[in-house]
Structure 1
Amino acid sequence: MPGDTPDAPGRAWQAVLEHVEARLLSGDLAPGDRLPGERALSAELGVGRSSVREALRVLEAMGLIRTAAGSGPSAGAIIIATPGGAMGALMRLQVAAHGFPVDDIVRTRLVLEASVADDLARAHPKPDLSAADLLLDAMDDGALTPAEFLALDAQFHLALAEASGNQVITATMAGLRSGIEGYVLAGHDRIADWHETSARLRGEHRGVVAAIREGDAPLARTRIHDHISGYYAEISPDR
């Protein structure tokens, strides 16, 4: 069987990587979807399960999937993003190398994302927010773990930056992503009622998108600012 035999010479894991990326780019897979299990991918592509695992590690390092161990409904790999540019990858390495302070990341988010919301609300013609809509729908899934929800949340904010068309802001947001995910997930344990908080976050996301679609730039700026600063205040150890 494919899963039990050694891979042929060469990097067989690249075949798995290219297969998953092709499905992402074609729209066959989208944020919120789960990948087939290791055994199924191994059989489908004719590579060893070790190659599948290696490809999944690379995809997770790229920020495209999040994996969870176990055998329950939340186990396996969930899609959290679609392939982006190399500049974002370089920024991610920069953030990882320097370990920027959380306060600095939050302040940077407030500046960048308020500008993005303002630009999107003022844009003519109206921006394409279909990627953000898809992520909002994915976050409505009650079976998501907090880690999966927060990974999709981070991708939602990146999707707004991408919709703005500003490549520098998009790359910067992509680079900050690991830092953003890190602090929002680390603070999860300080939330008394995750169900209530996640419901509020979903409502705030939709409120931002609604203000953008209505062309109300001041309201869009206020909503995104309050959304980011409100969650940070909730999880801050100093509150």
Structure 2
Amino acid sequence: MPDFGPIRPKRVFEEICERIRNELSSGTLRPGDKLPPERELAEQFGVSRTAVREAFRSLEISGLIRLQKGAKGGAFILDGNPTVRQSLQDMVSVGHVSLNDMTEARVLIQEAIVRLACKRATEADFAALEADIDRTEELTRQGRLRERLDYSINFHKVLALTTKNQVMIITIDALTYILRILINQLGPHPRLDLVESRRKFLKHLRARDADAAVEEMTDHLTKLHQHLVREQHRADRRRVRAPPRLQARAFGKAHTSARA
């Protein structure tokens, strides 16, 4: 039989965290909202400012809030689902998730998203996707590949929004967040026909041709995967050839970048 220990009463800061999480669950607090200042919250809860400060630190570590310093600073509710992102990022960082795992999951999830988008996307959704492609084309023409990455990855978030399914949106947000970290480490994908591929994909989406849209998206994800694998192998070879001291430094940089 399990050996259950005694139940411990919650500490004050844990109770504060639970209250704030409840407000998030109920929808009273939303992403982007700013929490009241420490002093005000301490008065509302009838606790010390130290307890509120400890609660803020705990919520920041959990990825629910962002603490910002300065005149316009404070505690802000983060967008998306940072906890899912952080958990996946930690698994990638310690090697529990490979590039193959990432791509396989993305292909399967993106197929489900594309099929839902073909059924549910509105003209406003199509316009948002087209605006993203237009900006990607402009940055491609200017050779600004690092900035193009923001719009290239944002395209997947905009596409997920067309499903009107919150689980899909949260899942793709976490996957694209990790993808951004990997691409920043290994280098942006210099695919010059990206815009052409995106316009072809959007054409299939507008026609509600799910099979053709899925095929175009899968082709893109496969080519991106091949690029990342090549760059990962090159990075590994450079680390092997480097002197031990530089290897340690490179590992530290990569580890820091992955946790950023």
Give the TM-score taking structure 1 as reference length: 0.57
Q: Distance in 2 between matches of 1:205 and 1:97?
A: 31
Q: Could you say if the C-alpha distance between residues 205 and 52 of structure 1 is closer, same or farther in structure 2, counting changes exceeding 3 Å?
A: farther
Cα separation, 2, equivalents of 1:127 and 1:104? 33
Q: 1:184 to 1:172 in 2, by over 3 A?
A: same
What is the Cα deviation at residue 145 of structure 1? 2.8
Q: Could you tell me which residue of structure 2 aligns to residue 117 of structure 1?
A: 114
5 Å-filtered alignment, 1:52-63, equals: none
Instruction: Name the % identity.
Output: 17
**1:53 shift after superposition:** 11
RMSD of aligned residue pairs (Cα, Å): 3.1
> What pairs with 1:41-120 in structure 2 (closer than 5 Å)?
51=70, 84-85=79-80, 88-99=81-92, 100-120=97-117
Separation of aligned partners in 2, 1:156 and 1:108: 18
> In structure 2, what is the Cα distance between the partners aligned to 1:52 and 1:217?
50
- Aligned partner of 1:173 in structure 2 is 172
Deviation at 1:227? 0.8
Shift of 1:180: 0.9
Aligned to 1:227, which of 214, 220, 234? 220
| Gap change, CA 1:214 and 1:153, over 3 Å in 2 | same
Q: Report the Cα distance in structure 2 between the residues aligned to 1:109 and 1:235, rounded to whole angstroms.
A: 14
Higher relative contact order (CA 8 A, sep 6+): 1
Q: Distance in 1 between matches of 2:129 and 2:121?
A: 18
| C-alpha distance 130-91 of structure 1, shift in aligned 2 (>3 A) | farther
For 1:28-39, list aligned pairs within 5 A.
none
Q: Which runs of 5+ in 2 are unaligned?
A: 1-31, 34-68, 235-260
What is the rounded CA distance, in whole Å, between the counterparts of 2:106 and 2:169 in structure 1? 12
Instruction: Give the corresponding residue for 2:132.
Output: 135
1:136 and 1:51 map into 2 onto residues whose CA distance is 36
Counterparts of 1:111 and 1:204, CA distance in 2: 19
Structure 1: gaps of 5 or more residues: 1-20, 23-49, 63-83
Deviations for 1:180-211, whole angstroms, at most 9, x for unmatched residues? 1123344437x6xx3xx2x3111111111110
> Structure 1: which amino acid aligns with 2:114?
A
State whether residues 121 and 163 of structure 2, in contact with CA within 8 Å, keep that contact through their aligned partners in structure 1.
no
> Given that residues 116 and 164 in structure 1 are in contact (C-alpha distance below 8 angstroms), is that contact kept between their aligned partners in structure 2?
yes
What's the offset of the Cα at 1:143? 3.7
* Residue of structure 1 in register with 2:203 after alignment: 210
Give the corresponding residue for 2:163: 164
8 Å contact kept, 2:201–2:217:
yes
Cα offset, 1:107, TM superposition = 1.0
CA contact (8 A) 1:127 1:164 kept: no
Provide the residue aligned with 2:153 in structure 1: 154
Distance in 1, matches of 2:73 and 2:145, equals 25
Cα distance in structure 2, aligned partners of 1:143 and 1:53: 35
Deviations 1:146-203 (A, max 9, x none): 22211221110111011111110110111122211123344437x6xx3xx2x31111
> Residue 154 and residue 52 in structure 1: after superposition, are their counterparts in 2 closer, same or farther (change >3 A)?
farther
Give the distance between the partners of 1:54 and 1:136, measured in 2 at CA. 34
Alpha-carbon distance, 1:131 to partner: 2.4
Measure how far apart 1:219 and its partner are: 0.2
- Do the aligned residues in 2 keep the contact of 1:211 with 1:217 (CA within 8 Å)? yes
How many residues in Structure 1 have an aligned counterpart in Structure 2?
159
Distance 1:107 1:180 in 2: 13
